[in-house]
Amino acid sequence: MQNDDNTTLKELKAKVRKFINDRDWEKYHNPKDISESICIEAAELLEKFQWRTPKETLDWKNDPSKLVPIKTEVADILIYCLSLANMLELDLSQTIIEKIKSNERRYPAEKYRGRAHIP
């Protein structure tokens, strides 16, 4: 069974690429439309949490009836992100590491530890 411990980003990107190629959907996929789709799917995820308390939503991890729709929306978002990375030939590992390093410089732990709001 594939899981986070034994599946690479490269493998996931290849699966997304194959899915799109097998359906001849490349002609419909461009950075603008994929970016819009990411936003739409993110809004659908946000809708699942609308009017819920933070504690209530944390408890969902133990409730499959609540967790399945969340997993579905997260998967949709990530699939579109992987598709965009494929399209623009982004190395996601490198991109993420660079962004974390940038955030570490911008928000040093010793200054921002435990702060929920950033001035």
| Cα gap 15→55, rounded to integer Å | 35
Encoded amino acid at 17, one letter: R
Domain span holding position 96: 10-111
In a domain, 117, yes or no: no
| Cα gap 60→69, rounded to integer Å | 11
What is the DSSP code (8-state) at residue 107? S
In a domain, 116, yes or no: no
What distances in angstroms separate CA 91 from CA 82, 94, 95, 112, 115, one per listed residue?
A: 10, 5, 6, 29, 31
Residue pointed to by tokens 């899915």: 19
In a domain, 64, yes or no: yes
42-86 pLDDT, tens digit per residue, is: 999 999 999 999 999 999 999 999 999 999 999 999 999 999 999
Whether residue 102 has pLDDT greater than 80? yes
Q: Read off the pLDDT band of 116 (50, 70, 90).
A: confident
The predicted model scores a pTM of 0.91
The tally of domains found in the chain comes to: 1
Instruction: Give the mean pLDDT of the chain.
Output: 95
In a domain, 44, yes or no: yes
Encoded amino acid at 53, one letter: T
- CATH code, domain carrying 43: 1.10.287.1080
